[in-house]
Amino acid sequence: MMDEMKPNLNVTSPRCAIIRNPDQSQTEEEEEVGEENGVLFYVNKSGFPLNDKTWERMWHHVAKIHPDGHKMVTEIRNSKELPRVPLPVVPVFPTNTPITDRLWLVQKYMSDLQYNHTGTQFFEIRKNRPLTGLIDSAKEIIREALPIKCLEAVILAIHLTNGMPGVERFPISFKSQFGSTVHRHVVLGVYCGGRYGALGMSRREDLMYKPLEFKCLSDLVLDYEESYKRYLHVLKKVKIGYPISHDPHSYECIHWKALTLNMIKLSTDGVRKELEKYSREVRAKMKTSGIVSERPPLVPPPSSPRKETPGRLN
């Protein structure tokens, strides 16, 4: 695990270009660059502990994007008495814990890890990896206890909800636009006992966790669309994936886009029609597989554990 004395940076960054290291070839650099919500960021591919190149590159990037720049970086790196960062406790569920409470505790744990604003994604997530490999990545996220982005949160939520009785999980991906900038985001949709909700991470509270209280999939998706509108974003596409296996040793890959909705062309009624048709097909497959869930105890859902933070959306 990274030294606990290394600071847990929470840097809100504007859109920026990647700062090229003169000692690094363009090919090497491109392999270590990712993109989320219209913003380029570095991806740590060195594992843990971070190698010197990744560590120094992160600080160099933070100095470029933070309002206080090199002054902030210098003060932190020269300090000899940095406060220790508390480690979030992985939730443990007694057998009688309602599903709604379990999901909220999973979300709270992820929110306690905090959203990663450093410009360097600490965990490499390859969406085409088998599920067993992604579960290994989730265990690494728990072990290192570092801030995460939305895709890492989806993988972590899959791991933490494995084995929950009657809970089905599926990815929901969003493509929105603000001005000329395209933003992408992903959450983990959940279904149990005739109710839908979602788990995830975002800079905005209403673009991540959704309690298990939506009567249909279309209500959940349209609720996200309303959230995007509040930030003057145009939601262009929504992609719904297939339910994800609960077998942590499965070599299946996650199906990220079984259904694609063009939110620009479809009316609200059209969105509802497509989503209801898709959800009926999925529920039919669940019935034939013998995995239909029982309705969980419905308790008043707690409020989202993550507070509003300034910055971009996802």
Q: Give catalytic residue positions.
A: 150, 185, 202
Looking at residue 130, what DSSP letter applies? B
Q: How far apart are CA 1 and CA 222, in angstroms?
A: 40
| Cis status of the peptide bond prior to 49, with omega within 30 of 0 | yes
Contacts of 28 (CB under 8 A, 6+ apart): none
Neighbours of 209 (CB within 10 A): 28
Q: What are phi and psi of 25, to 5 degrees?
A: -70, 160
Structure tokens at 181: 């900038």
Both tokens of 81, joined, read 């008495």
Q: Is residue 166 within 8 Å of 193, Cβ to Cβ?
A: yes
Identify which of 252, 43, 44 has the alpha carbon closest to the alpha carbon of residue 134: 252
| 301 C-beta neighbours (distance < 10 Å), count | 16
